Amino acid sequence: MEEPRIIIALDYPNGEQALNLTRQLDPARCRLKVGKELFTRAGPGLVERLADQGFSIFLDLKFHDIPHTVARACLAAADLGVWMLNVHALGGLSMMQAAQEALAKTSSRPFLIAVTVLTSMDQTALAQIGLSGTAEENVLRLARLTQEAGLDGVVCSGQEASALRQALGTPFLLVTPGIRSAGTASGDQQRVLTPREALSKGANYLVIGRPITGAPDPMAALEGIEAEILDF
């Protein structure tokens, strides 16, 4: 593989546990995702520390606020040296455009992507918040809006990746969570695929947590997934 396509989700309650894992990993073989819980507990200092260790960081905070606030938050994230960050597409076109325009002025612009529909949401959950149509229809509509705003791609379930790749073209990034190797539990994710399935449907990057972070030997687990997707 020319570049790491696996993003390991650091879903830990504190920085020390996250660092214990990263000491066992090779930054040339994977990227890392820092989400809300870890960032809230450990702060931006942990992100900077991981970046200094050579890891590419996906800061997964799903910014969703008025355009000016989101633009300023994205600039603050870029200052941490992250490789990728995200906003929530439900914030609308103006919010996403403001974020994109702010990052365009930075000297080392990170990738900016948007969340469409959370992979934990099924048809019942969508109806409860008033979104009509299927999950796939909502994902495609929000992804088109994201592309119109000039962002680099979206977070999406692998089950929607084929339709998005066909509709939005090759340069548009698809970052896919909810990845589980064959035979492993799906946890709280409702729309899951194996690594090979997700890549075959057009995903660019795979977000993988517990199959690696919960393994007795995380590096061996990572190598096993690499072997699954070696020909992609």
| Residues flagged as binding site for substrate | 11, 33, 60-69, 119, 180, 189, 209-210
Catalytic residue among 60, 79, 105, 201: 60
Q: Is 60 a catalytic site residue?
A: yes
Q: Is 62 a catalytic site residue?
A: yes
Instruction: Give the contacts of 9 (CB within 8 A, at least 6 positions apart).
Output: 33, 35, 60, 177, 207, 208, 209, 213
What are the binding residues? 11, 33, 60-69, 119, 180, 189, 209-210
Strands 173-176 and 111-115: unpaired
Catalytic residue among 65, 122, 152, 217: 65
3-class secondary structure per residue, the chain? CCCCCEEEECCCCCHHHHHHHHCCCCCCCCEEEECHHHHHHHCHHHHHHHHHCCCCEEEEEEECCCHHHHHHHHHHHHHCCCCEEEEEHHHCHHHHHHHHHHHHCCCCCCEEEEECCCCCCCHHHHHHCCCCCCHHHHHHHHHHHHHHCCCCEEECCHHHHHHHHHHHCCCCEEEECCECCCCCCCCCCCCCECHHHHHHCCCCEEEECHHHHCCCCHHHHHHHHHHHCCCC
Catalytic residue among 26, 36, 52, 62: 62
Q: Is 122 a catalytic site residue?
A: no
The rounded distance, in Å, linking the Cα atoms of 24 and 220 is 10
Catalytic residues: 60, 62, 65
